[in-house]
Amino acid sequence: MNKLTIEDLELKGRRVFLRVDFNVPLDQNRQVTDDNRIIAAIPTIQYLLDHGARLILISHLGRPKGTPSEEYSLRPVAERLEQILKKKVVFSPAVLGPVAETAIDCLSDGDCLLMENIRFFPEEEKNDTQFSKDLASLADVYVNDAFGAVHRAHASTVGVAQYFDQAACGYLIKKELEFLGTITEKPTRPFCAIIGGAKVKDKIQVISNLLDKADTVLIGGGMAYTFLKVQGYQIGDSILDEEHISLVEETLKKAETLKKSILLPNDHLTAASFSNEIEVRTVAGDIPSGLLGMDIGPQTVDTYCNEIAKAGTVFWNGPMGVFEMSNFSAGTFEIARAMAANGGTTIVGGGDSVAAVNKANLAAKMSHISTGGGASLKFLEGKPLPGIAALTERN
Ligand code: AMP
């Protein structure tokens, strides 16, 4: 990646606008229940503070849709950040105007301030020009470390960057791009990609693009049934994405042309309705009507785990079944275990797969867990990430 990083910047005494991804889950008492995303930004925050920057942290939280509300306030995140950093974090309920400006003026070198949720402003998601200019006027230098938001062209991730002489990335973005870059440019082979989840539309482009890079693509989850249907199998009452059948056909043809293997489940855990409370039936091959495929079956688990064991590089995104239900979580957890046992490069790409890995206590066994499911998928689709494109090129 040929972009400025924080190590290229003059920092002492300078006001740094740092876009972070503090979009963390909160419980009913507004306590942070998972601080992984805050922790992931600490190396960058610490580096900037240690080098005498006056730090202004900007993030979004949830989807407040341009309206301020207590529910989506970042105040609890400021408290958690203060505990992690063991240092005062000023919280500014204002983002622009005299209150915010005074808070920034009061910062000394090595101090930090967290602004209120940037998505309280409708201009943020519109990437509004004036709003971007106003945000840029608050600081001297721009740093983006919000990997989870780089696939979105918003004011704080894209618009603002052009108004700074220097716009650099932090350590988290650097690390995420290094891992994703390695698997797409020079993976240790065989490279096995596992793609699951329910929506064909969200993943089909990734599968198609990965066929150029990976040796084997394993498909699980609800979307596998559209692939199986195209291949002529009966899928009973399993979910079928009729709208995207032609994309699935194209992808299967591409695999044939490239002589790459797309593996599909050959047995399934099924149920008569979408429920955890009824009998589970293991079905091989065709699924009779009246039954829904809910998870990959034991033979498929064996086949997929053998592929993972042989691989030098493994990328995984998306559950193999309805893993939220205990009867149908085995396939997903077996994939997590097989990856944890693999001695090569293992990357888990966001969302439900990360939740499964954390639940199985296997996070420490993976080479990399992405903090941005959407961003990593977009990268693997081969599409540009606007938040990265907006950063200053290194000469
Ligand atoms: P996605 O957002 O496309 O990654 O899909 C994730 C969701 O897919 C999870 O909530 C799973 O419960 C769901 N899912 C996985 N397998 C199936 C299946 N066989 N039938 C219906 N939903 C599924």
Confidence at residue 144, expressed as pLDDT on a 0 to 100 scale: 98
CATH top-level class for 6-172?
A: alpha beta
Q: Do domains 6-172 and 187-380 have the same CATH topology?
A: yes
Q: Which two tokens stand for residue 18?
A: 């740092």
Confidence at residue 177, expressed as pLDDT on a 0 to 100 scale: 96
pLDDT in tens, 375-388: 999 999 999 999 99
Residues in CB range of 124: below 8 A, 6 or more apart = 60, 66, 118, 131, 154, 155, 156
Confidence at residue 252, expressed as pLDDT on a 0 to 100 scale: 97
The H or E element spanning position 313 is: strand 313-317
Please give the torsion angle defined by the CA atoms of residues 90, 91, 92 and 93, in that order, rounded to the nearest 10 degrees. -160
- Does residue 350 sit in helix, strand or coil? coil
The domain made up of 187-380 has a fold known as Rossmann fold (3.40.50)
What percentage of the chain reaches a pLDDT higher than 90?
A: 99
Q: How, if at all, do strands 281-284 and 267-271 pair?
A: antiparallel
Nearest CA to ligand 1 atom 21: 222
> Is 37 considered catalytic here?
yes
Residue 395, pLDDT above cutoff 90: no
Q: Which two tokens stand for residue 314?
A: 């493994």
138 pLDDT band, cuts 50/70/90, is: very high
Spatial distance between the Cα atoms of 57 and 23, rounded to a whole number of angstroms? 13
Residue 350, pLDDT above cutoff 90: no
The H or E element spanning position 364 is: none
Q: What is the DSSP string of 241-258?
A: -GGGHHHHHHHHHHHHHH
pLDDT in tens, 297-347: 999 999 999 999 999 999 999 999 999 999 999 999 999 999 999 999 999
Marked catalytic residue, from 110, 312, 374, 382: 374
Residue 178, pLDDT above cutoff 90: yes
Where along the chain do its domains lie?
6-172, 187-380
Pocket lining: 322 vs ligand 1, CB cutoff 6 Å: yes
Phi, psi (5° rounding) for residue 204? -65, -35
Pocket lining: 202 vs ligand 1, CB cutoff 6 Å: yes
Q: Which two tokens stand for residue 394?
A: 């290194």
| CA 29 to centroid of chain Cα atoms | 26
Please, are residues 327 and 337 in contact by the beta-carbon 8 Å criterion? no
Confidence at residue 282, expressed as pLDDT on a 0 to 100 scale: 98
User: What residues does 112 pair with on adjacent strands?
Assistant: 55, 89
- Does residue 360 sit in helix, strand or coil? coil
User: What is the mean predicted confidence (pLDDT) over 354-364?
Assistant: 95
Marked catalytic residue, from 87, 126, 133, 199: 199
Marked catalytic residue, from 19, 37, 152, 213: 37
Phi, psi (5° rounding) for residue 263? -95, 135
pLDDT in tens, 283-309: 999 999 999 999 999 999 999 999 999
Cα end-to-end distance, the chain, whole Å: 12
351 pLDDT band, cuts 50/70/90, is: confident
Q: What mean pLDDT value characterizes the chain?
A: 97
Confidence at residue 134, expressed as pLDDT on a 0 to 100 scale: 98
| Best of 205, 291, 322, 329 for a ligand 1 pocket test (most atoms within 8 Å of beta carbon) | 322
Residue 5, pLDDT above cutoff 80: yes
What is the pTM (predicted TM-score) of this model?
0.93
Please, are residues 262 and 303 in contact by the beta-carbon 8 Å criterion? no
Please, are residues 318 and 195 in contact by the beta-carbon 8 Å criterion? yes
User: What residues does 24 pair with on adjacent strands?
Assistant: none
Confidence at residue 199, expressed as pLDDT on a 0 to 100 scale: 92
216 pLDDT band, cuts 50/70/90, is: very high
91 pLDDT band, cuts 50/70/90, is: very high
Please, are residues 327 and 269 in contact by the beta-carbon 8 Å criterion? yes
